[in-house]
Structure 1
Amino acid sequence: MAVKILCYYQEGCMGCIEQEPINREVEGALGVVIEERDALTHTDDIGAYGLKVTPTVLVLVDDEVRERFEGVVHREALEEAIKKYL
């Protein structure tokens, strides 16, 4: 079971700025990598994942979206969602 975590952001997005240190804390706590992607340079992903807002955090298992968070997600909720698939 391959788990991938993606976080889509945009430059100047205040929620994205707030999300970034939360992502780093979760990475450290769980030993995972959260891949940061600029939504405007990954335009194919906008349609593929139905992105509407930034930040959006996706937890994919075997390339299938299992968890989706639109807007800022707090550390506890993000960790809980990721732990289900580790």
Structure 2
Amino acid sequence: MPVRILCYYQEGCMGCMEQEPINRQVENELGVTIEEKDALEHPDDIAAYGLKVTPTILVIVDGAVRERFEGVMHRETLENAIKKYL
């Protein structure tokens, strides 16, 4: 069950800047990689995933979005969501 975690951001987004260190903490705690992608550089992803705000974090398992978080996520909430799929 391959798990992929994507975090879409935009340059200058205050929430995105707040989310970045939280993502690093989660990566270190769980030993996972959170891929960060500039939403504006990936217009196909905006359409495919219905992105409306940044930051948006998607937990994708076997190619399907299982968890979706819009806005800044607290570390504990994000960790608990990811742990379900590890």
TM-score range, shorter chain: over 0.9
Gaps of 5+ in 1: none
Which residue in 2 is equivalent to 1:9? 9
The code of the aligned residue for 2:69 comes to F
Q: List structure 1 segments (4+ residues) > 3 angstroms apart after TM superposition.
A: none
Aligned-residue identity in percent: 79
Which residue in 2 is equivalent to 1:44? 44
Q: Following the alignment from structure 1 to structure 2, what is the Cα–Cα distance between the partners of residues 62 and 47? A: 20
The code of the aligned residue for 2:53 comes to V
SS of the aligned residue for 1:40 comes to helix
Q: Following the alignment from structure 1 to structure 2, what is the Cα–Cα distance between the partners of residues 50 and 84? A: 23
Which residue in 1 is equivalent to 2:75? 75
SS of the aligned residue for 2:73 comes to coil
Q: TM-score, normalised by structure 2?
A: 0.99
Paired positions, count: 86
CA drift at 1:63: 1.1
Which residue in 2 is equivalent to 1:34? 34
Q: TM-score, normalised by structure 1?
A: 0.99
Computed over aligned residues only, the root mean square deviation of the Cα atoms, in angstroms, reads 0.3
Could you list the per-position Cα deviations for residues 32-54 of structure 1 after superposition, in whole angstroms to 9, with x for gaps in the alignment?
A: 00000000001100010000000
The code of the aligned residue for 1:42 comes to H
Q: Following the alignment from structure 1 to structure 2, what is the Cα–Cα distance between the partners of residues 63 and 10? A: 24
